[in-house]
Structure 1
């Protein structure tokens, strides 16, 4: 969405060349306000929501990258691994206990869900306090499991986080339900900024693992505070048993999916920490986080926008089907060059930005970039399953993923370390899970398997050309790693754009028309 925004601003400036600088600035601000104000139609709301979420994820990712870049220089991989192990436990308990309440409210066809909010607040608050207490009590046993005694005090401090977050204002569900993502932007970015500044400030004073722990607590505290600042609704502790049962009944498949999703997505992290230690986990998690950044952010944008959008038209299968195909087309157009580009620039980025102490993560990061390509493609599948009432597909897919990864992961890790774990993840998704997910998606929308395969394949030749040009540059030009990274990024963007236009002129891809249509709403 950043490209249409830039085009719109560019056209505004071009039309004001005869005016003063003040006129230009006023025109720009007016245009920005128009762009970021949701329209009345669903597609206008979705486009505006996508812009806000893109801005959100760019800003959030910028804070995360800054955090990684600065703290990777101040802290060692083991510090990241210790907090990573603690976060695995916290995330696991949150997933296991998640009731799917927000999903139930978004799916609810009623525009006003205020009668449910007090019940949601009581359930979420009770859950948060219970999680915090469980983490505090279980900390010694968790430290023993990971063979890392430093996890115990860290986890007991971080246990405050879930308790605080459980008390946030439940009316934040309207940010997503009504596609009001400008408020979601403030809510999320405030937490990311708090994490960055608190963690960095502490690390400069005391470069230890505690910097990451206090950053986590600060993020949850600030987000909870902003949830009340951004909404006029004030919850009161009361519970409606009938409404609670209604939400929990809808969310039961979401809860099961969250549990299985956690095991399939974080099970490899738990395994690495248990078998290979905290330092190995530090390398593996940072490689995963950086290599999958585009796919993760795209998946977040797509799921946040597409699920409420699909839910609003759930009774119109043709509209859902058409929107799904278009979402896949745009997703792959963005993800394909990012994934291949990340694999290409990994070594100069790690050497020039993070430092040579992080070189063991290069090969895993390159492998996991290919996993990011597949994740970006599958990002919107879960949204269409939920919106069409097929939440059980989420559970079935995740269960199969867990079984397939569990079989080869131990011998692969013993033989090849974290690179072996990455190879297993990529192979399972490439050869089994992607075709299975496509089959379930076709079932949900009564669509075409061939059409889904084409939308996946269209941008790959252009991304491949970009990759070959990058490899040629690496072979013939020898410069400092940081300069090489910048050069590869710039050349990659230009090469991909030219290749896309060349392909579009030869086949009926339709991506240029999609971009033009999105731009027309801006």
Structure 2
């Protein structure tokens, strides 16, 4: 069994490759979005956000956590995968039918009758996305992140190749919908090909008894987590206009591309590294601490930089008509930063076979989030974003309190992981703010963005390198060896 230092290198490299795949996919999608944003209106993006919300719920219900079960029982992939695929296909059919039938009621809730056919078309995507989750879980269990990278990037590229021409032809919101559908189809084909698995179906009772209870726990975690992540879309879409929902969705996508994408990518490497390892609590805590330190070293400067440079980012990338996305983006950067400090504790619970803990935490999160977000909606998009910050702060605190009692990973791990990034990011963001608001206030958004990014990143790298030589020196030594 590899030691914590060796495993942490696997996690770091796995996170890097996974994030590269996530980043390449998302950057392609974002470049597509930038082009589409110049053609379409914010309300078009708002309509699609509603459709994608319904699709996300359908996919989570259909998969029933079977993909996570494959990773959890990674020594039994070939016996579990056929059952997982059969469960996914059955679930996909049921949820697709349910979404199609409920589409009129959902459209009425959002006060947007034009979203009904969008929901119905995207509901069908659940039929092809659930098998993909099985194939991707096989790759994850083998830690073959390079193959996942190709799949994610190809899916994203397909969305643009289909969506952008349709937008130029006047397809409006449908250009995004059909591009998304095409991307899912390509992901299905590639993930199956890379998995090198001769597909077969099974409903073997013994395997079902092994994976269904665990899968249902994971599904409940995922469903509650989805409710937490997408509750804002449901509330913004119901209480504000589709244009405001478009602004909010765009701001959130920028945050997702950077900070939240890193958390997800770290999870893709950390979960299989911890699963089935037979490590002691102390070894697991040490391994998690190393992963968290690497994550915080990157998320802190990203969050501070986005918060300070939100205006030039939006104006440079999207243009003046998207100015409404700037205000929520300031706050959402700090929401994502707080969120990142506790997100990967869920991997510890899942890896040790106790995802029910995460379910309980997420249910509490949901109970707190509903009233706060409804109240925040009275303050418009900024109020919603501010409510998100409060929710993240409360629930990250709860998550760490629970972790210290149940897993031996105490708050000291968090303090050791965040102190240096915080100390380095504060003066770096102050430099960015000075350049953007004072010295370059009258310059173009592109110049403000470039100058602030370069100056802030350079100062952060210098300060962090001085504060955490124990992290930086091994990295530099590895680079020198590579030469």
Compute the TM-score of the two structures, normalised by the length of structure 1.
Answer: 0.86
Q: Does 1:422 align with 2:385?
A: yes
Trace 1:350-429 onto structure 2 (pairs within 5 A). Answer: 350-414=314-378, 416-429=379-392
User: Following TM superposition, by how much is the alpha carbon of 1:119 offset from its aligned partner in structure 2, in angstroms?
Assistant: 1.5
Map 1:427-438 onto structure 2 (within 5 A): 427-430=390-393, 432-438=394-400
Equivalent positions of 1:72-87 (< 5 A) are 72-87=37-52
The structure whose residues are more often helix, as a share, is 2
Give the match for residue 215 of structure 1: 179
CA distance in structure 2 between the partners assigned to 1:516 and 1:384 by the alignment? 29
Question: After the TM superposition, which of the residue ranges 312-321 and 74-83 deviates more from structure 2?
Answer: 312-321
Superposition deviation, residue 465 in structure 1: 0.7
Contact 2:61–2:223 under 8 Å retained in 1: yes
Whether 1:512 aligns to 2:477 is no
Secondary structure of 1:46 counterpart? helix
Match of residue 34 from structure 1? none
| 1:249 corresponds to which of 213, 226, 232 | 213
Answer with 85-94 or 403-412: which moved more: 403-412
Q: 2:73 aligns with which of 108, 117, 123?
A: 108
Say whether the 8 Å CA contact 1:335–1:377 is kept in structure 2.
no
- Where 1:165 maps in the other structure, the secondary structure is helix
Match of 1:284 in 2: 248
* Equivalence for 1:13: none
How far apart in 1 are the matches of 2:50 and 2:19?
A: 29
Kept after mapping to 2: 8 A contact 1:307/1:386:
yes
The gaps in structure 2 that reach 5 residues or longer are 1-5
User: Quick check: 1:67 aligned with 2:51?
Assistant: no
Q: Distance in 2 between matches of 1:273 and 1:246?
A: 40
Q: Give the alignment's Cα RMSD to 1 decimal.
A: 2.0
Match of 1:443 in 2: 405
Provide the residue aligned with 2:295 in structure 1.
Answer: 331
Distance in 1 of aligned mates of 2:131 and 2:70: 18
> Whole-Å Cα distance in 1 between the matches of residues 350 and 185 of structure 2?
31
Structure with bigger gyration radius: 1
The alpha-carbon deviation at position 443 of structure 1 amounts to 2.5
In the TM superposition, residue 47 of structure 1 has moved relative to its aligned partner by: 4.2
Note if 1:170 corresponds to 2:134: yes
Structure 1 residue 44, shift from structure 2 partner = 5.3
8 A contact 2:299–2:340 mirrored in 1: yes
- Equivalence for 2:3: none
Q: Does 1:93 align with 2:58?
A: yes
Residue 263 of structure 2: aligned partner: 299
Equivalent residue of 1:141, what SS?
helix
User: Aligned equivalents of 2:452 and 2:102: distance in 1?
Assistant: 47
Deviation at 1:349, TM superposition (A): 1.6
- Residues in 2 aligned to 1:230 and 1:141: alpha-carbon distance in whole angstroms: 40
CA distance in 1, matches of 2:211, 2:448: 52
Is contact 2:22–2:152 with CA below 8 Å preserved after alignment? no
Alignment CA distance shift 1:407-1:159 (3 Å): closer
Q: Displacement, 1:314? A: 3.6
| Deviations 1:49-78, CA, capped at 9 Å, x for gaps | 233213212211211220221111111010
CA distance in 2, matches of 1:456, 1:447: 15
Once residues 480 and 15 of structure 2 are traced to their aligned partners in structure 1, the CA distance between those partners, rounded to angstroms, is 14
User: Could you tell me how far apart the structure 2 residues matched to 1:514 and 1:469 are?
Assistant: 28
Q: Note if contact 1:101-1:248 (Cα within 8 Å) is conserved in structure 2.
A: yes
The alpha-carbon deviation at position 338 of structure 1 amounts to 0.2
In 1, Cα distance between equivalents of 2:70 and 2:29 = 30
Inter-partner Cα distance in structure 1 for 2:133 and 2:355: 26
Alignment gaps of 5+ in structure 1: 1-40
Alignment correspondent of 1:130: 94
| Structure 2 residue 19 is matched with structure 1 residue 54 | yes
Which among 389, 408, 421 is matched to residue 459 of structure 1?
A: 421
Question: How many residue pairs align between the two structures?
Answer: 475
Instruction: Measure how far apart 1:513 and its partner are.
Output: 4.3
Cα distance in 1 between the residues matched to 2:426 and 2:154: 38
Q: Name the TM-score, length of structure 2 as normaliser.
A: 0.93
- The whole-number CA distance in structure 1 between the counterparts of 2:160 and 2:387 is 33
Distance verdict in 2 for CA 1:129–1:518, change over 3 Å: farther
Separation (CA, whole Å) in 1 of partners of 2:80 and 2:466 = 53
For residues 105-144 of structure 1, the C-alpha deviation after alignment (integer angstroms, 9 at most, x for no partner) is 211152x421222222211112222222222222212111
Higher mean displacement: 485-494 or 328-337: 485-494
